């Protein structure tokens, strides 16, 4: 196949008017230029340049080829530049994928700041709760809460995923606050589970790990439903801090058994940004992930407490 280099040397020779001059400008031997152009001529099957020791002149075929090929080379350089340009600074469309609840509460609110910092980026945010293949859906980066599937993607930790026992002040006034993990068995516990069967909450505290079987009059596979029920005063819930942290801060919910915390399970591996393990990570993805890390960590705003205690990792 004919090489791009030969074509570039051909046009350069036409511009310079001499193979030697081209060699001088490009720092290569004149013989190489000569041979490349000769090879190009063989490749297209026509003489392109009449050669004299003193002067080069185009044949008709050469003129024709030069005209067309000059524009083509320019277009090719433009195409390359356009792509390289994309990488100079964050710009272009950034497809972000994430779970609905977390996305609505913490990703979407962050976007104005991000877009203000990088005005040339446009974001396409897709919130889905079923697991999607990043590449399948055309996403550049995904935010995942817990449960990292084993994949070729790179995971960057954005925040811890602590779970908090909490209930509304109304419920606690009526039912009292548990003082030890075992007390939970006597409370109406709002259970989030994806499976059937009994549910245990594992709580670590000053007296070690306690496993408590919990139950109540609401079981659901939807965290938001648990959340709503807890806000409504139905009972005690075990919910991620990113969901209830700010309500605990405002007092709409009260943390229960604050000396204890849920033992880290599969759901507690943290909140991560996932992106393809490509050798060339695009600047817009890097910028977005860096932005999220900066915004959330090391202690996310939803973990802040007025007294400075709690949360963290």
Partner DNA sequence: CTCATCTTTGCTTTATTTGCAAATATCATA
Partner DNA sequence: TATGATATTTGCAAATAAAGCAAAGATGAG
Tell me which residues touch its own copies (CB under 8 A).
Answer: 1-5, 7-8, 38, 41-48, 50, 52, 55, 57, 59-61, 64-65, 68-69, 71-72, 75-76, 78-80, 82-84, 86-87, 92-93, 135-136, 138, 140, 152, 276, 278-282
Residues that bind DNA (CB under 7 A): 3, 5-6, 18-21, 23, 27-32, 34-39, 51-56, 133, 150-152
From CA 24, how far away is CA 26, in angstroms rounded?
6
Residue 29 CB, shortest distance to DNA, in Å, is 3
**Among 169, 257, 137, which residue's Cα sits nearest to residue 205?**
257
Nearer to DNA by Cβ, of 19 and 291: the residue is 19
CB of 157 within 8 A of CB of 270? yes
Q: Which is nearer to its own copies, 103 or 276 (CB)?
A: 276
Closest to its own copies by CB, 126 or 202: 126
Residue 57's binding partner among its own copies, DNA, none (Cβ under 5 to 8 angstroms by kind) is: its own copies
| CA-based nearest residue to 240, from 110, 101, 128, 108 | 101
| Binding-site partner at residue 198 among DNA, its own copies, none, CB < 5 to 8 Å by type | none
Helix (H, G, I), strand (E, B) or coil at 47: coil
Q: In angstroms, what is the minimal distance from the CB of 24 to its own copies? A: 18
Least Å distance, CB 27 to its own copies, is 13
Residue 26 structure tokens: 């490009």
- Minimum CB separation of residue 80 from DNA in Å reads 16
Given the complex with its own copies, which of 94 and 191 has the nearer CB atom?
94
Vertex 96 angle, CA 90 and 97, to 5°: 165
CB atoms within 10 A of CB 241: 22
Q: Rounded distance, CA 88 to CA 69, Å?
A: 28
| One-character DSSP codes across 23-36 | HHHHTS-HHHHHHH
- Residue 209 binds which of DNA, its own copies, none (CB < 5-8 A, kind-dependent): none
Name beta bridge partners: 212: 201
């Amino acid at each position: 196949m004919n090489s791009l280099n030969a074509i570039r040397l051909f046009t350069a020779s036409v511009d310079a008017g001499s193979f030697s001059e081209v060699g001088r400008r490009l720092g290569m031997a004149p013989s190489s230029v000569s041979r490349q152009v000769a090879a190009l001529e063989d490749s297209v099957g026509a003489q392109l340049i009449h050669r004299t020791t003193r002067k080069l002149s185009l044949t008709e075929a050469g003129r024709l080829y030069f005209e067309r090929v000059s524009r083509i080379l320019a277009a090719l350089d433009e195409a390359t530049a356009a792509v390289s340009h994309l990488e100079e600074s964050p710009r272009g469309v950034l497809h972000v994928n994430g779970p609905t609840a977390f996305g609505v509460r913490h990703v979407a609110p962050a976007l104005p700041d991000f877009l203000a910092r990088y005005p040339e980026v446009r974001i396409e945010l897709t919130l889905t709760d079923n697991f999607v293949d990043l590449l399948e859906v055309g996403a550049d980066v995904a935010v995942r809460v817990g449960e990292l599937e084993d994949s070729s993607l790179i995971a960057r930790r954005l925040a811890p995923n602590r779970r908090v026992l909490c209930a509304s002040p109304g419920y606690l006034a009526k039912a009292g606050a548990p003082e030890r993990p075992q007390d939970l068995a006597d409370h109406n516990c709002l259970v989030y589970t994806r499976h059937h069967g009994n549910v245990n909450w594992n709580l670590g505290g000053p007296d070690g790990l306690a496993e408590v079987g919990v139950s109540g009059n609401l079981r659901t596979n939807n965290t938001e439903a648990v959340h709503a029920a807890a806000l409504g005063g139905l009972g005690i819930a075990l919910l991620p801090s990113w969901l209830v942290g700010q309500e605990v801060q405002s007092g709409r919910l009260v943390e229960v058994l604050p000396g204890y915390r849920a033992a880290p399970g599969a759901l507690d591996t943290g909140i991560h940004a996932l992106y393809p393990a490509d050798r060339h990570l695009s600047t817009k993805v890097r910028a977005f992930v860096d932005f999220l890390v900066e915004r959330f960590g090391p202690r996310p705003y939803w973990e802040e407490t007025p007294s400075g205690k709690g949360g963290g990792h």
